[in-house]
Structure 1
Amino acid sequence: MVFREKGNKHRAKGTLFYVTTRLVMVTILTLVLFSRMTIAHSSEVERSSPCIYVLRVEGPIVPVTADYIQKGIREAYEDGACLLILELSTPGGLYSSTQKIVESILNAPLPVVVHVCPAGAWAGSAGTFITIAAHVAAMAPGSRIGAAHPVAVGSEGELPETHKQKIAQDAAAWVRSIAECRGRDPREAELAVLESKSFSDSEALKAGLIDLRATTREELLQQLEGKKVKLINGEEVTLQVIDKPIHLLAMTSAQRLLLAVSDPNIAYLFMTLGTLGLLVELYHPGAIFPGVVGGISLLLGLYALGSLEARFSGLLLLLLGLILMAAEVFVVSHGLLLGGGLISFILGSILLFNENPFYWRLNLVLVTVTSLILASFLTFLLGAAIKAQRRKVTTGRESLIGTQGVALTELKPEGTILVEGERWKAESTEPVSPGERVVVTGIEGLKLKVKRQSKTDGETY
């Protein structure tokens, strides 16, 4: 559910599995350890008095964003902070993640201020709900808020009319409830949902949706000094924020990575890249690099699609397509498995985000282009595999037929030649002088049959 502005061979394979598994494990452990080091470093700052926690959210509201804010509020409270400031700039995001954030702010055990900044920032759709849920809502000059009508993200398609009405009414009731809880104008808040109305900073202040305007953090703190807010337990707190130490709690490296891939189209590209990488490794075992890149990309794509509430049936079709395309390596189906896998992959792409009334949807142009690229690539791989299967197998001495060499002694008709760096007894159908070039035409026991090289036989030996 989202909010947005309306209208918008065996050993080689075993080695590959081992290397891929180890690399993925090392990558995950590195991210986890690095994130823990970041958190530990943040919490080791010595403070002589209650501090002010500052969180920064830029980008869509997705599960990793909700996790970051929830943990930030909890850490700020446990650390004895007197205030938490959430600096916000977002176009919108998932409804489930928005709900978690709003619940955390409404039930926060310490004052939470949401500041839409810097100048020119946007608290669109989901950002509207988060902003008005704060104990104190502020906006920087030039910023805007609103346009909270729920629509699909990632394509041009819209929801059915009955669904739109049902969802819009539910969202309107929710935003009215939040506004009333914080003493804001519920009618103006409702307009942001039902009519997709947007407000400038001055309009939002006049409409009673925010409490103040501030360009910088310092200006915000000056206006917050002495302001009274009421917490969820009924306690009234007078803000004393001047000269309090500031503690910036940034996203960890792992959170930033997960935020970067938490877009349906980027997640789909990771899935496609992962599929290509694994197929290259299966068709040409021992390359290692394509398999490693493909495995990591596939894991990132699966995580992102899962966090974006993708349909389970769509994911199953994607995985089935991958399995069928990989099976072509082991079962000669003359392209049937490959074609079936490609069809399954395309159907899974289309069905990924089509069921939930508040959903992300893939861009159909992206699906079409990636499907064509995948089909072309797989056709090339299949053609190469068929060509390799039809090629006549030549091993040992038979591989010397057609090879060019040079006569070391006179062939009349027998003598010695040098082929592929080795000395061989040879018999020629015509006299050959030492130093002349010859071509192997056959093998008789341990003796090669040769003829004098003509101009059409090439120049290398």
Structure 2
Amino acid sequence: MIKAHRHGLSGRAVVFASLLCLALGTALLAWQAQAQQGGRSALVMTVDGPIGPAIDDYFQRGLERAAESDAELVVVRLDTPGGLDASMRSMISAMLAAEVPVAFYVSPAGARAASAGTYLLYASHVAAMAPATHLGSATPVQLGGGGLPGLGDNQPPDDDADEGASKEGSGAESADEAEPGKRRGDTAMERKVLEDAVAYIRSLAERHERNADWAEAAVREAVNLGARQALEKNVVDAIADDLDDLLARIDGREVVMADGTRTLATAELTLERFDPDWRTELLAVITNPNVAYLLMIIGFYGLVFELMNPGALVPGTVGAVSLLLALFAFQVLPINYAGLGLILLGLGLILGEALMPSFGILGIGGIVAFVMGSVMLMDAESLSISLPMIGGVALLAAGLMLWVVIRFLALRRRPPRTGQDELVGCRARVEADFTDSGHVRLKGERWKARSARPLSRGQAVRVTAVDGLVLEVEPLGSVSN
């Protein structure tokens, strides 16, 4: 009986151990699956404002980060009135060559993807909008805000104009005659800009099989669409209330990548935020078209005023710094060259403060230029500079400038050592008694002197003023023997 009981306990123990091992194995497999699922992520970026060099730099850094972390998708929340053509094209080129699919999502409600934003939507692998948003108005405009001359008042040409154009125009003009409602500009330059924009956005639409005809209308006629109409006209791929809804709607969708088609697997992705940092925000303020235009004006007139008034220093210093910032904002200079130029300018101005004291003008301008240039190079490729290094060098330069200013202010307070001003305060001795005027000996020289009080021979006097070759004196002590 005892032996049987022991065998029964042993059997139950084996069964219990087997069940425990099975449960642990199941839990381990579930944990591994959850870990693998948790490792799949989507990088979420935010573009809120005009498209410029700062946004271009931020966007490309985001693509690099997504590729390094093996993200499944990059989602860009977009709300923009437009921006610079060069920055927009740079972003599109980076997006078309990206290893990770990019979804542009116009949100929140009330946001827009106007002008350059429309091109970015057409270039993205997934174009989505939130309810109560819109896109369009993609006609090229001048920096000042006006449309290209001739685009605003273009009317459908009459029969005579069509006939003349068919005789004199090119093939592009003949194509316009076939569709007389198209705007095409009045001059060759206007037509070149407009037709280039039309061809560009149509090529983007055809790549992702979106509505190319509406895209052309957005460029030629500056038309707009709301979210619902954009989905109906095959301008965007989805309407989503939020990011989770967006990921659910585009799951399983095929997109065109640089190396072929890819099927998205976006269900239950972990969202990783990559918001603009303080550096991007600062550069975005500088590259705002309105601020950039103002910097260009200040830079131009600052240099003009400095040339008209050499040695003024303030307009020249402000003008040089503003002009370099404006050239960066307009993408005339890339971010690394603009940053390096500002650093060299800053060091030159700080050195100028030491060699040619301006009581802080050159020094302050140099520190501002140095710090701005260093900030630009903080994340520039192969030219990264750390923030502590920037702060340390800036504080060192500020300390040097402060020492120079204090030193020269102290020198200004010292009494003169040459010229007539040096004589004021010096002691002299009366050569002979006189009541109104007479002579005194000063530093071995005989000077004519005047005094409001009678003076005696040998009396010590102090010089109070110099009037030409006459000294104004006053008595200091008693007569000496």
Cα offsets for 1:80-137 (capped at 9, x unmatched) = 1011101112222233332232233333332211011222212111111110222221
Partner of 1:131: 121
Give CA-to-partner distance per residue, 1:152-172, whole Å, 9 cap, x none. Answer: 121547336223333323322
Decide whether aligned partners of structure 1 residues 47 and 247 sit closer, same or farther in structure 2, where only a CA change above 3 A counts.
farther
Distance change >3 Å, CA 272–CA 395, structure 1 → 2: farther
User: CA offsets per residue over residues 346-396 of structure 1, 9 Å max, x none?
Assistant: xxxxxxxxxxxxxxxxxxxxxxxxxxxxxxxxxxxxxxxxxxxxxxxx984
1:199, CA displacement in angstroms? 0.9
1:24 counterpart residue number? none
Q: Which residue of 1 aligns with 2:59?
A: 69
Deviations 1:171-195 (A, max 9, x none): 2222222222212122222211121
Q: 1:228 to 1:442 in 2, by over 3 A?
A: closer
Give % identity.
30
SS at match of 1:307: coil
| Equivalent residue letter for 1:92 | G
Of residues 190, 204, 210, the one that matches 2:230 is: 204
Q: Is the 1:106–1:232 Cα contact (8 Å) retained in structure 2? A: yes
Q: Which of 271, 274, 277 is equivalent to 1:246?
A: 271
Contact preservation (8 Å) 2:131, 2:227: yes
Matches within 5 A, 1:28-427: 49-154=39-144, 156=146, 158-159=148-149, 161-162=186-187, 163-242=189-268, 244-262=269-287, 263=289, 264-269=292-297, 271-272=299-300, 275=303, 283=311, 296-307=321-332, 396=418, 398-399=420-421, 412-413=435-436, 427=449
Q: How many residues align?
A: 308
| Change beyond 3 A, Cα 1:279–1:252 | farther
**Cα distance in structure 1, aligned partners of 2:191 and 2:322:** 39
Give the TM-score normalised by the residue count of structure 1.
0.55
Flag the 1:249–1:173 CA change in 2: closer, same or farther, 3 A: same
In structure 2, give the amino acid aligned to 1:223. Answer: R
What is the CA–CA distance in structure 2 between the aligned matches of 1:146 and 1:212, rounded to whole Å? 17
**Aligned partner of 2:47: which letter?**
V
Secondary structure, counterpart of 1:171 in structure 2: helix
Which structure's relative contact order is higher, taking Cα pairs within 8 Å and 6+ residues apart?
1
Instruction: Indicate conservation of the 8 Å contact 2:449/2:471, yes or no.
Output: yes
Gapped runs of 5+ residues in structure 2?
Answer: 1-35, 151-185, 335-415, 441-446, 476-481
Give me the whole-angstrom Cα distance separating, in 1, the residues matched to 2:421 and 2:88: 68
**Structure 1: runs of 5 or more not aligned:** 1-45, 310-393, 418-424, 453-461
**Helix, strand or coil: the match of 1:283?**
coil
Question: How far, CA to CA, are the matches of 1:275 and 1:248 in structure 2?
Answer: 43
**1:448 equivalent in alignment to 2:471:** yes
Q: Deviations over 1:201-226 (max 9, x none)?
A: 22212221112222332332333344
SS in structure 1 at match of 2:70: coil
Asked if 1 retains the 8 angstrom alpha-carbon contact of 2:40 and 2:71, the reply is yes
Change over 3 Å in CA distance of 1:308–1:164 after alignment to 2: farther
Q: Is the contact between residue 141 and residue 147 of structure 2 (CA under 8 Å) also seen in structure 1?
A: no
Contact 2:74 2:100 in 1 (8 A): yes
Report the residue type matching 2:299 in the other structure. M
2:282 corresponds to which letter in structure 1? Answer: L
